[in-house]
Amino acid sequence: MAEPLLTDPAGPADDRSLPLPMPYGMYAAIRARADERTAPLVDRLLRSSLALTPDTGDGTAEGPTVGRLGGLPALPAAEEWPEYAGRPMQLLAQLDCAGLAEAHAARDVGRWPLPADGLLLFFHDDWFSDFTGQGCRVLHVPAGAPLRPEPAGRDELAPLPAVPVRARWALSAPSYQDRELEDIFPDDFMIALDLASDFRDHLTRPDVRVLGWCDTDTGRHEGHRPLLQVESSAAGADWGEAVNASFWITDEDLVAGRFDRVRHGVEVA
For the segment 149-186, what is each residue's pLDDT rounded down to a tens digit?
766 677 888 899 999 999 999 999 999 999 999 999 99
Mean pLDDT, the chain, as a whole number? 90
Give yes or no for residue 43 having a pLDDT over 90.
yes
Neighbours of 41 (CB within 10 A): 16
Evaluate whether 207 touches 234 at the Cβ level (below 8 Å): yes
Q: Please check whether residue 90 is in contact with residue 81, taking contact to mean a CB–CB distance below 8 angstroms.
A: no
Judge whether residue 1 has pLDDT over 50.
no
3-class state of residue 225 by DSSP: strand
Contact by Cβ (8 Å): 234, 54: yes
Structure confidence at residue 151 (pLDDT): 65
Spatial distance between the Cα atoms of 218 and 212, rounded to a whole number of angstroms: 14
Which phi and psi angles does 170 have, rounded to 5°? Answer: -145, 135
In this structure, what is the dihedral angle of CA atoms 20, 25, 29, 35, given to the nearest 10 degrees? 60
Q: At what angle do helices 189-202 and 24-33 cross, to 10 degrees?
A: 170
Least confident of 24-33, 39-48, 55-64: 55-64
pLDDT on residue 150? 67
Q: How far apart are alpha carbons 210 and 84 in whole angstroms?
A: 24
The reported pTM is 0.91
Window from 12-16, 54-58, 178-182, 242-246 with minimum mean pLDDT: 12-16
The phi and psi torsions of 125 (rounded to 5 degrees) equal: -80, 105
